[in-house]
């Protein structure tokens, strides 16, 4: 039961087996799947946790909290899935940034403890490659992955492809995901890539400052289309930084979209059991 995992659970919403709440994590956490979206292949028999971490480069407090998570709850899991944006930016696996080595070692320790680790690229770290994946003991997954959990088909993804109203971002995404352009960028000297990345981040912040929140959120039709494409009634994603559980109709049946939160002032995770899907926030 979830009460055995979370201490002081305060349920703020519960609909058809879906619960959202805020709590601290109990020390005696049982075996579970964990998804870290930036922190959620097959069927498992434990509880399932989905959580998110981001901005590890610029926010030492978040990094420290995430490392504690990796050293604690994550090692008690059945599996660890990272849904992108683990890092503020990624300019190549050859970047000697000490934080990258620290994070790789921490994730590898989770993998070495017997917990398989998986990664779906985000919009900030879409260039993360096989070299870092090997170093950290992670398996790279496609941008859309369906899991079978306790009789549920659950689609997991980063979520940026659902924001189809943001035409400018989608055009940019289409360009930077061209294989030939990525190869060209990664062939540049590291110092040049750093300058380009810094300029791109600045341009992105400036562009987003003038966009409405609605434009940068998911498009409902895109959500339904993705769920019907994969024949699922459950979708878990991140990217928008708007943690919530949304009820909708897909495949002519009730369906649920669970949005992971960003690790800014607290941690965020989703726990899936045979009975419930719970969105939880907890202190670092």
Tell whether residue 123 is among the known ligand binding residues. Answer: yes
Chain segment 160-219, per-residue pLDDT in tens:
999 999 999 999 999 999 999 999 999 999 999 999 999 988 888 888 777 787 788 999
Are the C-beta atoms of 5 and 30 separated by less than 8 Å?
yes
Domains and CATH numbers, the chain: 2-282 (3.60.21.10)
Contacting residues for 255 by C-beta, under 8 A, at least 6 apart = 227, 232, 233, 234, 235, 247, 248, 249
Query: What is the distance in angstroms between the CA of the first residue and the CA of the last residue of the chain?
Result: 23
Q: Is 47 one of the annotated binding-site residues?
A: no
**Whole-number pLDDT of residue 157:** 95
Residue 109 pLDDT more than 70?
yes
Does 281 count as an annotated binding residue?
A: no
Q: What is the pLDDT of residues 85-107, one digit of tens each?
A: 999 899 999 999 999 999 999 99
Residue 50 is predicted with a pLDDT of: 61
217 annotated ligand binder: no
Report whether 85 belongs to an annotated binding site: yes
Residue 166, annotated ligand binder? Answer: yes
Q: Binding residue per annotation — 239?
A: yes
């Amino acid at each position: 039961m979830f009460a055995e995992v979370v201490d002081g659970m305060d349920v703020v919403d519960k609909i058809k087996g879906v619960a959202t709440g805020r709590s601290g994590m109990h020390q005696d956490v049982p075996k579970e799947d964990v998804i870290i979206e930036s922190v959620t292949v097959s069927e498992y028999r434990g509880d399932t946790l989905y959580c998110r971490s981001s901005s590890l480069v610029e926010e030492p407090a978040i990094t420290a909290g995430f490392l504690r998570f990796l050293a604690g709850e994550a090692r008690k899991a059945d599996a660890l899935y990272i849904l992108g944006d683990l890092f503020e930016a990624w300019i190549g696996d050859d970047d000697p940034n000490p934080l990258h080595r620290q994070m790789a070692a921490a994730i590898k320790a989770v993998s070495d403890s017997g917990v398989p680790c998986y990664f779906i690229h985000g919009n900030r770290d879409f260039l993360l490659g096989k070299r870092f994946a090997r170093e950290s003991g992670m398996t790279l997954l496609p941008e859309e992955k369906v899991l079978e959990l306790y009789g549920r088909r659950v689609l997991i993804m980063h979520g940026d492809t659902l924001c189809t109203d943001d035409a400018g971002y989608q055009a940019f995404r289409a360009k930077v995901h061209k294989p030939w352009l990525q190869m060209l960028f990664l062939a540049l000297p590291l110092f040049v890539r750093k300058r380009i990345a810094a300029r791109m981040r600045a341009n992105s912040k400036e562009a987003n400052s003038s966009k409405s929140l609605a434009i940068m959120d998911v498009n409902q039709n895109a959500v339904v289309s993705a769920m019907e494409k994969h024949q699922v009634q459950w979708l878990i994603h991140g990217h928008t930084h708007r943690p919530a559980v949304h009820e909708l109709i897909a495949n002519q049946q009730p369906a649920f979209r669970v949005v992971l939160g960003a690790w800014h002032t607290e941690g965020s995770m989703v726990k899936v059991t045979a009975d419930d899907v719970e969105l939880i926030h907890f202190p670092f």
